[in-house]
Structure 1
């Protein structure tokens, strides 16, 4: 691992206890031999994945934080994986594949040369098969490169166990997710905020989804206005656009 890399900076910021270090290499063959994988999944492993290491494990024995089970979620252990990829293409698909096939909540640290991307996923117990986990939502950072933008640097700095809950592994992982929400929120506010608490995680995620949907709708109205010739229709479109802008403003104030 390059001592000046973003990955090194992130690992230092995480402040992981020595007991959490695992350092187990996972052969690509272990993944590709899974009979439940589609041919497309196997192609992604072959074409995108370079190497994968189970670098750290967070569980009661290594981090002294309790597990969490409620019939919907199961947080017995958090796996931190270092993933090397061959290119920047299809990395989100690879992350989804890894999140799906690793039976623990997972923090993926993905590297391509000097670039770093981070991925987590909110996973729940599959109600049809309790031995499997289903992804509710995947959270992916953009590719990060030095020098980092101010908001991105705040995101990296925030990635520390000292900034996470110690109530349970679920609460800790929820705080990881919250950091992605803060990064996404900064796209709308321009500021990386650290006021959002674990309990707000789902609400903030929903607010961000609403904002993205409204932004898409607003852009659609703007495109229609460019081509609309009838004044009455233009007035209607402008009224709709103003209403959406008001909704966007109100939602931004919740972040």
Structure 2
């Protein structure tokens, strides 16, 4: 998996984002706000990758890319917290999480809604491994526009390999299906472990075989953490 990138100095934005702005934009519940309080120390709008700051043209789906540094209070953050930030900012976002002396790149595939171009569709999250904050940063992929840059960064973050001829959006959907099927399999296995009656065990084993076969058809398991909580 990839690591964190070196961004152009001209793209530096460096503004702290008050959590209250996210609360207001997302109309968050008291419970959701408490997650921010418990898990997030500070949100910093670190870089703005735009035609005027990075010398790459924008595309309809990716007019700009924002880079947010999120300093954690502890060792985890729920994907729901990142999703609230994503929904409050009308541009694709690359998140750089920081905890102690480690950092991690994480992002969702974010695109304008086909039904309403003023709204954004946000996928599950894809993440790199935690790495030391003093590790050398990677150079950004060489591309001709921001849309391709965004796609290339996401592809590096995604687990597994793309199928032949698979588009980015199709790959995202397939990975989400795989993760859902992995969760189903874990649930079936837990039911099987608890069940005492032989005839019910037989039925649950049949469910497990069917789910495992469906997972194989999707391209195999990933067993990656979609929530950036580890």
What TM-score do you get using the length of structure 2 for normalisation?
A: 0.71
Distance 2:88 2:152 in 1: 22
- Tell whether the 8 Å contact from 1:178 to 1:198 is kept in structure 2 after alignment: no
Distance 1:250 1:139 in 2: 22
- The corresponding residue for 1:6 is none
Secondary structure of the residue aligned to 1:206 is helix
- Tell whether the 8 Å contact from 2:11 to 2:54 is kept in structure 1 after alignment: yes
Structural RMSD (CA): 3.9
Residue 103 of structure 1, CA deviation:
1.8
- Higher-helix-fraction structure: 1
Q: Over residues 204-240 of structure 1, what are the superposed CA-to-partner deviations in whole Å (9 max), with x where a residue is unaligned? A: 2233233334434444555438634249x73x66555
Within 5 Å, which residues of 2 pair with 1:19-168? 19-32=10-23, 34=25, 36-69=27-60, 74-125=61-112, 130-131=117-118, 133-141=119-127, 144=130, 160-162=139-141, 166-168=143-145
- Tell whether the 8 Å contact from 2:3 to 2:105 is kept in structure 1 after alignment: no
Residue 198 of structure 1, CA deviation:
9.8
Pair 199,218 (structure 1): closer, same or farther in 2 beyond 3 Å: closer
Residue 79 of structure 1, CA deviation:
0.5
Pair 64,248 (structure 1): closer, same or farther in 2 beyond 3 Å: same
Pair 215,84 (structure 1): closer, same or farther in 2 beyond 3 Å: closer
Residue 19 of structure 1, CA deviation:
2.1
What TM-score do you get using the length of structure 1 for normalisation?
A: 0.65
Secondary structure of the residue aligned to 1:96 is helix
Distance 1:119 1:86 in 2: 17
Distance 1:40 1:238 in 2: 38
Distance 1:32 1:90 in 2: 16
1:206 aligns with 2:173: yes
Structure exhibiting the larger radius of gyration computed from Cα positions: 1
- The corresponding residue for 1:150 is none
Query: How many positions carry a matched residue from both structures?
Result: 217
Secondary structure of the residue aligned to 1:50 is strand
Pair 224,51 (structure 1): closer, same or farther in 2 beyond 3 Å: closer
Structure 1 portions without partners, runs of 5+ = 1-8, 147-152, 186-192
Structure 2 portions without partners, runs of 5+ = 223-230
